[in-house]
Structure 1
Amino acid sequence: MSLADRVLSVNNDLPIRTEQPVHSGKVRSVYWLTEADSRRLIAEKGYDVAADAPLAIMVISDRISAFDCIWHGEGGMNGVPGKGAALNAISNHWFRLFREQGLADSHILDIPHPFVWIVQKARPVMIEAICRQYITGSMWRDYAKGGREFCGIEIPDGLEKDQKLPELLITPSTKGILKGIPGVPEADDVNITRADIEANFEAFNFKNKDDIEYYERLLKEGFDVISGALAELDQIFVDTKFEFGYVADAAGNEKLIYMDEVGTPDSSRIWDGPSYRDGKVVEKSKEEFRQLLLNYFPDPDILLNKDRMEERKALAQDNALPESVLMQVSETYRSIAEKITGEKIVLSDNPKQEIIDILRNDYGLVD
């Protein structure tokens, strides 16, 4: 069996019973279950949710995106072997630690397969919050040009690239296009301030103003839990993205939860500790893949310049990357997942068939 056969690149064509269109993102696909199947599973499995809560099957893939494009490799390798399982394993690990330490629950109710989550529908908070512990990436580029204010927070002069910040910074941005918020442009991923959130908390889907403080506490505590665990492995948690939403439990109590993924190489930067102390940054996250792409193509401006998006799409579509590049990324994802979870990431021989069999036999979701 070739490596390409062990990569799950297409994940929106599974025969899961649904009455709605499958929502397929860059990496995950979401299948909303029928009302009857949702109610049946809640009763059979004893999930702590309202009896009529809508449930979905979320299937991860091995696809890899960077610079807003999906990339592929030679020999029909349309993804990175082991990437999907590594991402889910890492998220599962952090979500479990959060619960054990009394932070908050996640949207995940069940994990039938390394590629699959059963989730409950949440009402999302319309904010993507980045927690930053070091100055690097886009923040460093703005700082180097003279920027000193980030999302309403002033940071001091004299910082150097990749230096640890004086304190953990929360730099929120809009999730999706929000309309009618004074001073906030109607565009996706626009930086906002805490004052923006406080003045318009309902527009950002907060239930009440007090939840802003709770959300910030969950951000900081979640970051600290992951950062501390990584430090024990001599790895540095540089920055990460968090997303939140509201759900109701079986008793009807509405609660704020973590959603999407947390602390993964796709949503975070992780650096190797020993290398950093030697003055060298070694990425243990998707940033490594971005750097590989920038070095691989002769004109990196295509990848960095948003005005050249059509050229960039053509670049991704017309260029099959060497297998060695995708395998290097595979090694990074699998090794950091194994380090974090203490368990081996096993490549499935036929992940799609495994998922179908489990969802048919154990959950009754495939006809």
Structure 2
Amino acid sequence: MSLADKVLAVNNDLPIRTDSAVHSGKVRSVYWLTDEDSRRLIKEKGYDVSEDTPLAIMVISDRISAFDCIWQGEGGMKGVPGKGAALNAISNHWFKLFKENGLADSHILDIPHPFVWIVQKAKPVMIEAICRQYITGSMWRSYTKGERDFCGIALPEGLEKDSKLPELLQTPSTKGILEGIPGVPAVDDVNITRKNIEDNYQAFNFKSLEDISLYEKLLTEGFDVISDALAKLDQIFVDTKFEFGYVKGRDGKDKLIYMDEVGTPDSSRIWDGEQYRAGKVVENSKEGFRQLLLNHFPDPDILLNKDRMAEREALARDNELPESVLMEVSNTYTAIAEKITGEKITLSDNPKAEIISILREQYQLID
């Protein structure tokens, strides 16, 4: 069996019973269960949700996206071995820690397989909740061009690349393209201020003004929980993106929860502490892959300039990366996952067959 066979690249073709179209993102695919199956599982499994909550099966893949494109390798490698299992394992670990620390719930109700979550339907808050403890990446690039105002926060002069910021900063951006919000351009991923959110809180799907403070509190608390845990492993939590949404509790009331993924190498930068103290940044996150792409192609502006998206998509489509590159990324993901969770990430020989078997036999979701 080749390494490419162990990669789960296509995850939107599973024969899961559903009345809706499968929604596929860059990495995960979502299968909304029938109303009948949702109610049956809530009853059978005792999930802590109201009996009419819609449920979905969320299947992660080993695909790798960077700069809004999906990348592939030679020899039919359509993803990174071990990446999906590593991402899920890390998120599962942090969500469990959040619960133990009395923070909010997540959308995950059950974990049938390392690639699979059973989730409850949440109404997403239309904000990429970004937290930064160090100045690097896009913030540093903007800072070098003279920008000092980030999401309404003024940064001091004289900051150095990759240095610790004077305080933990929240620099939110829009999730998706939001139309008709005064002062907020209708483009994806645009920086916004707290005032933008306050003045238009309903457009961002907040139920109340007070919930803006709640999301900020949950963001800081979640960041601190992960940062403290990583520090014990001599890893630095540099910055991250959280997502939030609303679900209805058993009592029928709305509650704000964490959703998507948290503290993973896809959504965060994690640096090795020992190397950082020696003056060197070693990435234990997808940032290493981004840097590799920037160095790999002769014109990195294609990857950084949103106006050159067509060229960028062609670059990703027409270039197979060396297998060694994808295996380097695989080692980064599995090593940090094993460090965080204390458990080995094992590559499945046929992840799709395993998922189908479990969802058929233990959950009766496949005919």
TM bucket (normalised to shorter chain) is over 0.9
Q: Shift of the alpha carbon at 1:315? A: 1.6
Q: Shift of the alpha carbon at 1:209? A: 1.1
Q: Shift of the alpha carbon at 1:181? A: 1.8
Q: Shift of the alpha carbon at 1:338? A: 0.2
Q: Which string of whole-angstrom CA distances, capped at 9 and with x for unpartnered residues, describes residues 180-226 of structure 1?
A: 22211222212111111112111111111111111111000000000
2:55 aligns to what?
55
- Matching residue's letter, 1:351: P
2:323 aligns to what?
323
C-alpha distance in 1, partners of 2:275/2:224?
A: 22
C-alpha distance in 2, partners of 1:250/1:303?
A: 46
Q: Which runs of 4+ in 1 moved over 6 A?
A: none
RMSD of aligned residue pairs (Cα, Å): 0.9
C-alpha distance in 2, partners of 1:190/1:160?
A: 24
1:162 aligns to what?
162
1:289 aligns to what?
289
- Matching residue's letter, 1:319: N
Is 1:263 matched with 2:263?
yes
C-alpha distance in 2, partners of 1:196/1:298?
A: 39
- Matching residue's letter, 1:215: Y
Q: Aligned pair in 2 of structure 1 residues 345, 279: CA closer, same or farther (>3 Å)? A: same
TM-score (normalizing by structure 2): 0.98
2:84 aligns to what?
84
Secondary structure in 2 matching 1:224: helix
The answer to which of 43-52 and 300-309 deviates more is 300-309
Secondary structure in 2 matching 1:203: coil
C-alpha distance in 1, partners of 2:221/2:307?
A: 38
- Matching residue's letter, 1:33: L
Q: Which string of whole-angstrom CA distances, capped at 9 and with x for unpartnered residues, describes residues 34-77 of structure 1?
A: 00000000010011111111000000000001111111111111
Unaligned runs of 5+ in 2: none
Secondary structure in 2 matching 1:99: helix
Matched pairs, number: 367
C-alpha distance in 1, partners of 2:176/2:168?
A: 25
Q: Shift of the alpha carbon at 1:298? A: 2.4
Secondary structure in 1 matching 2:117: strand
- Matching residue's letter, 2:206: F
- Matching residue's letter, 2:197: I
C-alpha distance in 2, partners of 1:212/1:303?
A: 33
TM-score (normalizing by structure 1): 0.98
Q: Shift of the alpha carbon at 1:282? A: 0.6
1:353 aligns to what?
353
C-alpha distance in 2, partners of 1:151/1:13?
A: 40
Secondary structure in 1 matching 2:287: helix
C-alpha distance in 2, partners of 1:12/1:206?
A: 30
Secondary structure in 2 matching 1:71: strand
Secondary structure in 2 matching 1:75: coil
Secondary structure in 2 matching 1:79: coil
C-alpha distance in 2, partners of 1:318/1:177?
A: 28
Secondary structure in 2 matching 1:330: helix
- Matching residue's letter, 2:36: A
C-alpha distance in 2, partners of 1:138/1:173?
A: 13
Is 1:189 matched with 2:172?
no
1:132 aligns to what?
132
Secondary structure in 1 matching 2:171: strand
2:253 aligns to what?
253
1:152 aligns to what?
152
Q: Which string of whole-angstrom CA distances, capped at 9 and with x for unpartnered residues, describes residues 230-288 of structure 1?
A: 00000000000011011112222321100000000000000011111111111110010
- Matching residue's letter, 1:267: S
- Matching residue's letter, 1:291: Q
1:27 aligns to what?
27
Q: Shift of the alpha carbon at 1:155? A: 1.1
- Matching residue's letter, 2:164: K
Q: Shift of the alpha carbon at 1:357? A: 0.2
2:103 aligns to what?
103
1:119 aligns to what?
119
Secondary structure in 2 matching 1:247: strand
C-alpha distance in 1, partners of 2:177/2:325?
A: 35
The answer to which of 328-337 and 253-262 deviates more is 253-262
1:229 aligns to what?
229
Q: Shift of the alpha carbon at 1:310? A: 2.1
Percent of residue pairs bearing the same amino acid type: 81
- Matching residue's letter, 2:359: L
Q: Shift of the alpha carbon at 1:173? A: 1.0
The answer to which of 203-212 and 31-40 deviates more is 203-212
Q: Which string of whole-angstrom CA distances, capped at 9 and with x for unpartnered residues, describes residues 292-326 of structure 1?
A: 11222222222222333222222211111111000
- Matching residue's letter, 1:359: L
